[in-house]
Structure 1
């Protein structure tokens, strides 16, 4: 694997995740439940995890700290995926994914409070734009305190929080363990949560058609491929390029494809929200290396 290929890896992640985001809810239109889509996603993670572990000569860190960090990262990632699959069933991907792209604000906030790290004006501007953008997505009044999980906006914010926490712990984990081990634990926890997905599945109404299953498998493979290439994009490449491509580029592709496929035009407020969210993710990702407070 050549180091000069890092930009190609980053582009592959951006494209695969962008397309995956746009079509991830398509199998539900054929009666295939979102809980089973999660199961398919978890299974597609197995092959990439084995590939990266093999490329690392089967070296897997199994000390207490590695297991703890790997489990936290895997649980937050898999839990976020489970929530996401329900979110895109009840809400539009072209709005959900730009919201999720703002997850770095959680990572930066925790780094500020717990690691005493500070960001420059670029990162600060991104955070301000993110805080302005979020309320613009939810002006439809579908949120209910009696049943918050019926609101796609609430679910999207939960995923944002889960993946923001995941990135924080991944940042800490990189100080003590290799990317291949992190990815392997992500796969393990994806598999471990399968029983919960099966428990939540209504098998009386679920339709296990060949069309639904094949669509779910094909679409979720894109997710797994993107994750695999992201590992190597960060290993060989510059975070200042890799991060913007994934945090801002992929959601933008998702939004564009979804709008074209759905042939809908969102309200002006939501369009502004999409633009601000993508711009915020870009600014946050482009921030200079953070410095710890003395």
Structure 2
């Protein structure tokens, strides 16, 4: 299965495309709670390069004929090596821009996921699930990001957490959810994992006075003997229902605390929120993490399913 790199290059008079097909190794990742995909890779070509890394303006990647990544040229180097040259790239998907831009602080009225984000960030590379429910008011705090505004919208609209699907598409529901059958793959490992380092036990939110009447508690933290308490000021973003906002803070601290997964030979083209099948520990669960690694020994894929508040909600 070939991994093909395509670099968009500013040539002064226009944009040219350079394609590299001899891949020495690559890593591709996408995960729930991370608002972008990630790709890094090393490619080799004979001869002398006719482009400079200084002029690269975009990165695209195809795997087995399917475009899996389109993003920013975070880091690119072109290095003479023997009778040819190596191209090293590191790129994050264009949806990263949602987490790097601050929207105008205000109340956004009668918005959908698409209209809210597009009113605060213009990018031809990002698309959105459409239609989604119209929500009356979404308050955007000063210093927050467009991605945080999208999270607030999704929680209010459906109680779901947004994620990146396909090529730079932001969704909150899975749409046509695929079932990925792992019964015929060569399994290299199956794992269960716990990471409770950031799990909160008790959270409180202030009202307009000096009291903290809103509270939420995590029973699983208590069972583990974890005591991590936080007190928050009244968050205008959740003024419509502070209890919902407080519960979200607790639920978010629970992200990926418990997870199960597997690594297998090959790649089946799975995406976030597809359903896993054919492996007893994963069957029926939503896929929340995908990592594809390629090299001289072939391609391996790791998938993880988070047993947390958002990862296994029906979407």
Structure with higher helix content: 1
The answer to whether the superposition gives a TM-score over 0.5 is no
Q: TM-score, normalised by structure 1?
A: 0.25
The structure whose RCO (Cα within 8 Å, separation 6+) is larger is 1
Q: Which has the larger radius of gyration?
A: 2
Q: TM-score, normalised by structure 2?
A: 0.24
